[in-house]
Structure 1
Amino acid sequence: MINQQQLWDDEAARHYDTPGEGMFSPEVIGPTVEVLAELAGDGRAVEFAVGTGRVAIPLADAGVQVSGIELSHAMISRLREKVTEDQIPVVQGDMTEEVAGEDFSLAILVFNTIANLLTQDEQVRCFQNAARHLAPGGRFVIELWVPQLRSLPPGHGGTVEVSRPGYLLVDTYDVLHQHVVSHHVRFGPDLSDGREARIGRTPHRYIWPSELDLMARLAGFELEYRWADWDRSEFTADSRSHVSVYRLRRPAGR
């Protein structure tokens, strides 16, 4: 079993933020926060796997009261360099079981993070925990990639997902267990630690949209919206990711 605390350690936390670039770029953060603020309305939001505050901080700046749950001590430490506990309170622990409060109007789990839970049981418990946090009618928003199994050549177990100067992303698949390992290779003279290359690996359990919908139903949710991206573009058979909004149709068990 992968030790997630070791996976998201001090080094990972130091290199996680890329201010103004990649997933921290204004064109990514702006639409994300706009949608989440609208869905939260006048209510409060809780972010599962809040990390270093990539989404939580700008969402709080937009006027939404935000709390978080985060497993990694290192990621929380990095978050605390930016905001105080009073500004964004965080419960340290597993997002499948820790509780940060109740009667939230919005629960958030973005950037493929539900796939960090490596069994179906854990993923189902994550939905159940989201339901525990929400007021009746509250929403659970998940951002998740679509498995790209159609791109696997016959007899091959991996794909090159990103290839650009200084960075290579290779995904290797175990289709029997719905597992994929992302191999992040960073190289070139810009590495701050002086090494020629740095390799990081992150394991995931991929989830088909239909399976995700069934997990939601088991926890008392129903699908309200599904978009291909935060710009609310149409989700199609060719979409590589989705933003799914689930609404709690009955009160969660306390």
Structure 2
Amino acid sequence: MLDEDGYFGESVAAGYDESSADMFASDVVEPAVDLLTELAGSGRALELGVGTGRIALPLSQRGVEVHGIDLSRAMVQRLRAKPGGEAIGVTIGDFATTEVDGTFSVAYLVFNTIMNLTTQDAQVDCFRNAAGHLEPGGRFVVEVGVPDLRRLPPGQNAVPFHVGEGRLGFDLYDVATQSMSSHHVRVADGRGSYLAVPFRYVWPAELDLMARLAGMRLRDRWDGWSREPFTSESRRHISVWEKPSD
């Protein structure tokens, strides 16, 4: 049974930064913060799924006022314990529907977090919620992987993403429903642990339609935060939708 923090309760939050250490590397974080700082300008930034502050903290340190929404109190406690954590305003709640005061020049979702919403309706709600918080001309930014279905031969529904000593990770896909689950097996000191987290994968064109339903339009799509071209071989995309200014 899940606790009030969903799938990101104390047991996950306690080791989240260490298990995702490669995503905290400066060469990963800095390009994202550079782009978000530019988009924020003199305005405020809203992070949907702020977590332990991987992006929010360095963005705040650039002088951008950041507010976050997150369902997990355990993750937010880690954010609060870090230097500068108290400067980040946080609202506890489902980022698909939770509203906060004021408007923002940029709202953003990073590191596949849009897929934590496991139904299409919830993802549509998220776009509407983001648009509702943006000032005219504001931007909504999403970083998410391109569904990796080309690696699925007929009859197979599993794709490994990490195979190494002491750790095994694989994704299970259901192409009929666009549901998937990420499975993590770890062995340390002779003891094993297992965690499964559900997701819903989503296509770039599907996200564009969600944005249109929310009154936004696609402005840019790149392969990475340094604005590399998005191609048919891209494994992820950084997409930017704009709320009309009129």
TM-score range, shorter-chain basis?
over 0.9
**Aligned residues of 1:102 and 1:132 also touching (Cα < 8 A):** no
Give the corresponding residue for 1:66. Answer: 66
Unaligned segments of structure 1, at least 5 residues:
190-194
Aligned to 2:177: 177
2:96 is equivalent to residue 96 of structure 1 = yes
In structure 2, relative to structure 1, the CA distance for the partners of 1:4 and 1:237 (3 Å cut) is farther
- Given candidates 198, 203, 225, the residue that maps to 2:198 is 203
Q: Are positions 1:214 and 2:213 aligned together? A: no
Q: Is the 8 A contact 2:110 2:142 kept in 1?
A: yes
Letter in 1 for 2:237: H
Q: Does the 8 Å CA contact 1:45/1:104 hold for their aligned counterparts?
A: yes
Give the TM-score normalised by the residue count of structure 1.
0.91
2-structure distance, mates of 1:33, 1:232: 13
CA–CA distance in 2 between the matches of 1:222 and 1:187? 46
Match of 1:230 in 2: 225
Look up the match of 1:160: 160
- Supply the AA of the counterpart residue of 2:207: L
CA RMSD in angstroms, aligned pairs only: 2.0
Letter in 2 for 1:153: P
Q: 2: distance between equivalents of 1:79 and 1:86?
A: 8
Alpha-carbon shift at residue 184 of structure 1 (Å): 1.4
Paired residues, what number?
Answer: 246
Contact 1:19 1:25 in 2 (8 A): no
TM-score after normalising by structure 2: 0.94
Identity %: 49
Superposition deviation, residue 84 in structure 1: 6.5
State the Cα distance separating 1:188 from its structure 2 match: 3.8
| Counterparts in 2 of 1:96 and 1:197: CA distance versus 1, 3 Å | same
On the 8 A contact 2:97/2:125 being kept in 1, the answer is yes
Is the CA contact 1:71–1:92 (under 8 Å) kept in the aligned structure 2? yes
Distance 2:77 2:231 in 1: 39
**Alignment deviations for residues 79-107 of structure 1 (CA, whole Å, 9 cap, x no partner):** 11125775111011111111122321000
Could you list the per-position Cα deviations for residues 103-131 of structure 1 after superposition, in whole angstroms to 9, with x for gaps in the alignment? 21000111101111111110000000001
Task: Name the residue aligned to 2:26.
Answer: 26
- Conservation of the 8 A alpha-carbon contact between 1:35 and 1:230: yes
Code of the residue aligned with 1:10 in structure 2: it is: E
Partner of 1:106: 106
AA aligned opposite 2:110:
V
Distance in 2 separating the partners of 1:116 and 1:21:
20
Aligned partners of 1:231 and 1:167: how far apart in 2? 30
From 242, 246, 249, the counterpart of 2:244: 249
User: Secondary structure, in 3 states, of the residue corresponding to 1:18?
Assistant: helix
Q: Which amino acid aligns with 1:168?
A: L
Q: Structure 2 CA distance, aligned partners of 1:90 and 1:111?
A: 19
Are positions 1:43 and 2:48 aligned together?
A: no
Partners of 2:3 and 2:236 lie apart in 1 by 26
Structure 1 stretches of 4+ with a deviation exceeding 4 A read 1-4, 83-86
Q: In the alignment, is the contact (CA less than 8 A) between 2:117 and 2:200 conserved in 1?
A: yes
